[in-house]
Amino acid sequence: METYMMSIGGQPVQAERTFGVVNPATGEVFARVPAGDTAHLDSAVAAARAAFPAWSRTPDADRQAAVHALAGVLERHMPELMDLVTRETGKPLGGLNGVGAGMEVGGAIAWTHVTADLSLPVEVIQDNEQARVEVHRKPLGVVGSITPWNWPLMIAIWHVMPALRAGNTVVLKPSELTPVATLRFVELASGVLPPGVLNVISAERDAGVGEAMATHPGIDKIVFTGSTPTGRRIMAAAAGNLKRLTLELGGNDAGIVLPDANPEALAARLFGVGFHNNGQTCACLKRLYVHDSLYEPLCQALARLARDAVVGDGLQADTQLGPVQNARQRDYVHALVEDARAQGARVLSGGQLPEGAGYFYPPTVLADVRDGMRVVDEEQFGPVLPVIRYSDIDEVIARANDNPNGLGGSLWSSDPARAAALAPRLECGSVWINEHGAIQPDAPFGGVKQSGIGVEFGRYGLEEYTTIQTVKIMKS
């Protein structure tokens, strides 16, 4: 069994102990990683601080080239990284609608190239006989990145690449459940970046490394993707040195199918955006509101797709949906389904805990579900889709908005212009028409309300890794 290493100051680092990483398809440990601690964090922050002056002064074109070179590293090691992502997350190599480890590593490559090509030129606000006023973007210093288990490598790339591109140095802490592909990537990146520019620490949950990052005086910004409760704790802990924050937190995205939609034409797409990666994506469709006139045919079409989906070990070529990433999450999803069933929901597919090894759960479509049931009100983050009936558009928009989350939302219609006209009424950071969760590296993405603070991707995302300096040059 392979043991992976942390990278601190450009060197591979082992800890006194290691811990096992479980393959959720088998329930067995497949790799070991160092059990890092807060002393490792202090070393990593010191290495990142030491590397910052030179990296931040590196000519922009050289930093751009370095980020493109990191994309090259990902490209050259794509099969190995895909294999690690599948083993640690359970997501298939291919997956439903091509959403799997191939998309995770391929997406990481694409995001890296696009981010490398971004730039933040000096903006001239005024240039006349009195004065010239320029707005410069400067890096912040050391960025601490904390990532979740659902898209571990891709989300690490989303944090690291804009941070480096803007001239910051980074200390990265992956989820204790899925650290392997990230450790391997940073090890490979050491061949491209100067020592200390990118450091990574693996740690068990109770080692307190995440908490220590949030309070660390040597870290200038935290970029965090994970649950809303953890985001709240980080925000409180980060107050000590007024850390800058980007928080990408939970979502409970609603989709609204308008009465003019064609249920047969939409069913497969709706199923895909609700169930790919087993629903373990922040911006998956998590609540589907369907107009009364289409309700029953659409529910039945979704249930048929759920029953036909191929669930299995993600390493097998034809698997569409793998296991849930961990036992706790699987049990939570099942508890939500049981709660809904007890309150009168119709279980049209799935809903049973399977026997055998691994954390599998069948794709589950629930009908006759109401707002107020836990499976609707809470973020399930698993392979279950509650389908909720509505009859009035004003009422359904109010119901979609009646949730503390505000990550994404979607409207489904045969008349995209009619649907787009309703978009401003949804309280969420992204609205998709006849799509859901369709992010791209050049368009900003982030949550409103309790789904987060700030955005990622494109120029807007890059700006979050900088501070503004205004320079006024008097001419007379």
Q: For residue 47, what are its two tokens?
A: 């290495």
Strand bridging mode 364-369 / 346-349: antiparallel
**CA atoms of 120 and 240, how far apart (whole Å):** 29
Residue of 19, 55, 111, 149 interacting with ligand NAD (CB under 6 A): 149
Nearest alpha-carbon partner for 470 in 132, 165, 95, 159: 132
Q: Choose between 284 and 302: whose C-beta lies nearer to ligand NAD.
A: 284
Instruction: Find the catalytic residue in 104, 282, 299, 428.
Output: 282
In the bound complex, what is the minimum distance in angstroms from residue 151's beta carbon to ligand NAD? 6
Strand order in the sheet with 285-291: 346-349, 364-369, 384-390, 285-291, 253-257, 408-412, 430-433
Q: Choose between 196 and 251: whose C-beta lies nearer to ligand NAD.
A: 251
* Binding to ligand NAD, residues 388-417 (CB under 6 A): 407
Segment contacting ligand NAD by CB under 6 A, of 51-59, 67-75, 246-254, 271-279: 246-254
- Contact between 382 and ligand NAD (CB under 6 A)? no
Contact string 205-224 vs ligand NAD (x = CB under 6 A): x----xx--x----------
In the bound complex, what is the minimum distance in angstroms from residue 181's beta carbon to ligand NAD? 14
Residue of 169, 225, 430, 434 interacting with ligand NAD (CB under 6 A): 225
Residue of 175, 380, 403, 413 interacting with ligand NAD (CB under 6 A): 175
**CA atoms of 417 and 433, how far apart (whole Å):** 9
Chain position whose Cβ is nearest to ligand NAD: 210
In the bound complex, what is the minimum distance in angstroms from residue 277's beta carbon to ligand NAD? 10
Q: Choose between 205 and 459: whose C-beta lies nearer to ligand NAD.
A: 205
Nearest alpha-carbon partner for 202 in 1, 30, 34, 32: 34
Q: Choose between 209 and 267: whose C-beta lies nearer to ligand NAD.
A: 209
* Binding to ligand NAD, residues 47-66 (CB under 6 A): none
- Contact between 147 and ligand NAD (CB under 6 A)? yes
- Contact between 226 and ligand NAD (CB under 6 A)? yes
Residue of 234, 288, 426, 455 interacting with ligand NAD (CB under 6 A): 234
**CA atoms of 446 and 461, how far apart (whole Å):** 9
**Contact present, 322 and 86 (Cβ < 8 Å):** yes
Whether 248 is catalytic is yes
Q: How far is CA 292 from CA 254, 301, 397, in A?
A: 16, 15, 15
Residue of 251, 322, 350, 461 interacting with ligand NAD (CB under 6 A): 251
Segment contacting ligand NAD by CB under 6 A, of 128-136, 140-148, 294-302, 465-473: 140-148
- Contact between 233 and ligand NAD (CB under 6 A)? yes
Residue of 21, 105, 146, 375 interacting with ligand NAD (CB under 6 A): 146
Segment contacting ligand NAD by CB under 6 A, of 41-49, 111-119, 228-236, 342-350: 228-236
Q: For residue 108, what are its two tokens?
A: 């990481």
Q: Which residues 6+ apart lie within 8 Å of 122 measured at CB?
A: 134, 135, 136
**Contact present, 172 and 209 (Cβ < 8 Å):** no
Instruction: Find the catalytic residue in 88, 248, 456, 463.
Output: 248
Residue carrying structure tokens 């026997």: 355
**Contact present, 8 and 15 (Cβ < 8 Å):** no
Q: For residue 2, what are its two tokens?
A: 């392979």
Residue of 272, 447, 458, 461 interacting with ligand NAD (CB under 6 A): 447
- Contact between 150 and ligand NAD (CB under 6 A)? yes
Segment contacting ligand NAD by CB under 6 A, of 32-40, 42-50, 118-126, 226-234: 226-234
Whether 464 is catalytic is no
Segment contacting ligand NAD by CB under 6 A, of 28-36, 68-76, 203-211, 238-246: 203-211
Task: Write out the residues near ligand NAD by the rule CB under 6 A.
Answer: 146-150, 173, 175-176, 205, 210-211, 214, 225-227, 230, 233-234, 248-251, 282, 379, 381, 407, 447, 452
Active site (catalytic) residues: 248, 282
